[in-house]
Amino acid sequence: MQYRTLGRTGVQVSSLALGAMNFGRIGRTTQDEATALVDAALEAGINLIDTADMYSDGESEEMVGKAIAGRRDDIVLATKAGMPMGDERNHRGGSRRWLVTELDNSLRRLGVDHVDLYQIHRWDPATSDEETLSALTDLQRAGKIRYFGSSTFPAHRIVQAQWAAREHHLGRYVTEQPSYSILQRGIEAHVLPVTEEYGLGVLVWSPLASGWLSGAVRAGREVTTSRSAFMPERFDVTLPFNRARLDAVEQLAEVADEAGLTMIQLALGFVIAHPAVTSALIGPRTSDHLRAQLAAADTELPADVLDAIDAIVAPGTDLAAHEKYDTPPALLDPSARRR
């Protein structure tokens, strides 16, 4: 396992991190299975675990808390807030009112007195940067969080938050958590240059592109991944953008074969090769999934393999741009650009 410094914090984290989104109802994972995954990940050298309040409505945090009981100090523990937690209109977003309340809820579910990294799950256009950063700074000073970061922020919002922290003499985001894979490389053009400029640690999610790069999705083969069951449109190869992904996967499979790598090793090796990336979040549902992903822990792709990947999916290109979560609201809502 490789270890890297998380931005400018001085904290050393593993290049592969354990994402706990599949713990609980989402991944149909029991407590015993979740604990076994945590045990195996820690034994392999992973020291960063990432979850969120909304994963299975808090069940993931509860499972993580039980799995790490008695060894909390050996783990860099991260969680997130900001996505809706129920139908109440104020149980979401980046307001002081909600973050102060929801952090206490997360700490209770996790069974700890602090988290190492508290992340705003999505940019909240209804809340000012000063409001959110002020609340996070106070929570940090109270000892409930060690650091705070953003998740899936557009590049311009990352910059704006850094300037707001400076202008108002507040703590700043020290990490960003974007989606990044061989098939979704758009952040190379805007987000990653910004994180490098401001010295942010980068924890990338979906490095296997929701299973497209796991080796389970191939031409002429029925797609049976867990994601395909509840997101069928993302795997419907009659759609042009999915056909483009499948064509890329077939070419990438040839590159992996020639290099003596699995598709998972190729995919994870690619994202952790970028100098701006600190860790890749893996989200296994089973022990078999975890073992296959841990095999990429020390994978270093040579220049010719990286060049071959660039020839298949050009740098800065998203093959399914409509699936991005950092699109400015004005591009999605006509009223936001025409009023």
Enzyme catalytic residues: 55
Q: How many CA atoms lie within 13 A of 216 on its CB side?
A: 15
Contact 36, 287 (CB under 8 A): yes
CA distance 48 to 14: 7
Contact 34, 14 (CB under 8 A): no
Contact 203, 119 (CB under 8 A): no
CA distance 315 to 41: 31
147-167 exposure pattern, b = at least 16 Cβ within 10 A, e = fewer: bbbbbbbbbebbeebbebbee
Integer Rg of the chain from CA: 19
CA distance 9 to 19: 21
Q: Measure Cα distances from 107 to 87, 99, 140, 236 in Å.
A: 22, 12, 14, 40
**Sign of the C-alpha dihedral, residues 219, 221, 227, 233?**
positive
- Angle between helix 129-141 and helix 155-167 axes, rounded to 10 deg: 60
Residue 285 amino acid letter: R
Largest CA distance in the chain: 57
